[in-house]
Structure 1
């Protein structure tokens, strides 16, 4: 009988390669595609996945080890689905998931469970819905993260929160700095390109010290919400989490803020507007607002990985883009009528890159005018993901001021 480790690293040559999952045409030449979500990285043209080295290091992984893993992938000689380095066919050495899981297990063997969970999350990246390799990464991610939380001094209680909506189950991930008294809460609506451990840095870098709890809810259709599909009316599952947290003995029901990131921003805005008496603080990070959903010329600027990811979560095929584009339109905040001036009575913080592909200047202007009070932080220079330390400081500073109860 195979050991657990032998089972985990048992090679499979017939597993579909990630870049082909949401694209039946299996695009062979992507040189004409933009090289990153924001700016050109020299190395990006050689990879299907967007390379987020600075972000992964900020999450707690060694830059040296990151480089070594990418070198292993790049130097692999097994067949690839196209010329891009991270398109090794099958689950074996050189496969993205295989190499990152091997690193994850190595970290866990050294009792570095938080870093091991981060590595397992990256093994699953970019988290497409139908990727068969996710079943290898997710159990390790959950196990290592729970082990890490037991050792974290600033996490008195970590709990998987489960809700039922229309007979389907959804999970959120609650981090509490104390259980001796009710505390303010930040609810994070993650983007499809993330899993919940990737938000721990926000908690670690300031929320915990400020006595603020954090609940992370993954993207509709992602692991924690895998029973649900991403659609305009899928806000019901997020609404259920809001109701549950308001009734929680651990949470100050009058001190709840929301964070929306990229493609989760429309959901966060809609939830805030549906609950104006309960949600008065909202943070929108690198927001996808309107034009990215409704204007096809904006779609053409997106990297192929992002186009494939959107198709994956909409149940479409990115080689049939007109169909996917039609499915995207209802998510536009303008189409939904949610960008009317002063349509929400709360306080809004928006942080975005001045050269973002996800929102036009008019989008940002209308988003800011939606709230009674709004502030903005405009990033310049490196990509948004390369400035997460600055973004985190800005978010924590704003939330501490807005959620202060002393």
Structure 2
């Protein structure tokens, strides 16, 4: 089925809107000098994260080489702004990797090699996810890559010792699709509600369950942030935790989890949501982990907002449903997302245990944010790392978080 889907959705075409133009009407003016780390790429590159997930850095570098060498028209000076879905475009090149992994997965599955089938279906899911990065609402190719990303993830779990349940949870008279990952279904499990960055979707969260939560006996309920993935029907707003609170309300009806033993984990932007839930639902949660999450300064300091990589500003605009071309207008639209502006951080305390992670020099979660979070609860564990831009850092982070959660769930 996935191969038929791939054939029907991913025929080369040049009329598809180029990603960098979707939420930025001035995308054609982008120049390399203004980009993150001075690199001539529109998309922020995270090699340490991709390698930690298991993707081949050699294959990824080969993709970058093909994109760089492409002589087709680009929207701007950025290398990864080749228009359409064709050789040399970001989505096309990563979908080639995904299709190759999917073919290998199918062959391993037919040979009853479950571990390799599992691994290759995961790679097919992750590469399809990368093909849609940064997952803009209104990006036709990204929407199509998501379908394959989720399909391959489910196939991967079918070849693992674990289980996954698709949940359609009611929110505002609509439904949102979430994935409940289970180590087994022998008994109701304590559950961690997990979300990631504003530029990510649910399949990217699976390694947390696979390598850490499953071994600890936790279920993991993954959720897309407002405006992305399965949550595109909702725009990001001041009430950033709206979807997650509705999911929390619904957990009592989910038979595979113990709704009295619930924690929330937010990585990057989802840390804002996890922190907000710590104030709004301390009686229904056992713990909240906030990993390098922006909670104030990025939203309350206009110069910091203007210094963000263009892709990240476009992500915010896309989730808010506005144009990012005017940095000041974007800033004032984002200002209500500050938990300090909302009167939560710095003014209130929660009795909920918090695990707070930061890193030196982080543009999203600076020292001021960590200080606010550290004083939000009398039971707060704070860990500051020199860098999370290394494979071993992710192992350390999630090993520590898992041990901490075991004390509270």
TM-score (norm 2): 0.91
Q: Distance in 1 between matches of 2:155 and 2:18?
A: 31
**C-alpha displacement at 1:34, in angstroms?**
5.1
1:63-82 to 2 correspondences below 5 Å: 63-82=57-76
Cα offset, 1:334, TM superposition: 0.4
Q: Which residue of 2 aligns with 1:231?
A: 237
Q: 2:389 aligns with which of 378, 383, 387?
A: 383
Per-residue deviation, 1:213: 0.6
Residues 34 and 301 of structure 1 are in contact (CA less than 8 Å); yes or no, is this contact kept in structure 2?
Answer: no
Provide the C-alpha distance between the structure 2 equivalents of 1:289 and 1:4, rounded to a whole number of angstroms. 40
CA contact (8 A) 1:280 1:345 kept: no
Alignment partner, residue 119 of structure 1: 127
Contact 2:240–2:337 (CA<8 Å) still a contact in 1?
A: no
How many residues of Structure 1 are paired with residues of Structure 2 in the alignment?
393
Q: How does 1:185-224 map to 2 (within 5 A)?
A: 185-224=191-230
Query: What pairs up with 1:6-405 in 2 under 5 angstroms?
Result: 6-33=7-34, 35=36, 40=37, 45-111=39-105, 112-153=120-161, 155=162, 157-233=163-239, 235-340=241-346, 343-381=349-387, 383=389, 387-403=393-409
Distance 1:114 1:270, change over 3 A: same
Deviations 1:276-332 (A, max 9, x none): 111130111111011111110111221111111111111111112222111101110
List gaps (5 residues or longer) in structure 1: none
Greater alpha carbon shift after TM alignment, 71-80 vs 6-15: 6-15
- Provide the alpha-carbon RMSD of the alignment: 1.9
Give the deviation of 1:65 after TM superposition: 1.1
Cα 1:238–1:289 change in 2 (3 A) is same
Q: Distance in 1 between matches of 2:390 and 2:319?
A: 23
Given that 2:227 and 2:318 are in contact with CA atoms closer than 8 Å, whether structure 1 keeps it comes out as no
Contact 2:49 2:389 in 1 (8 A): no
Please give the alpha-carbon distance, in whole angstroms, between the structure 2 residues aligned to 1:387 and 1:18: 31
Higher RCO structure (Cα 8 Å, ≥6 apart) = 1
More helix by share: 2
How far off is 1:400 after superposition?
A: 2.2
The 1-side partners of 2:222 and 2:25 are apart by 33
Cα distance in structure 1, aligned partners of 2:222 and 2:5:
29
2:287, 2:353 within 8 Å by CA — same for their partners in 1? yes
Deviations 1:238-272 (A, max 9, x none): 21211222343322223211111222222222222
- With structure 1 as the length reference, what TM-score do the two structures score? 0.92
Which stretches in structure 2 are left out of the alignment for 5+ residues? 106-119
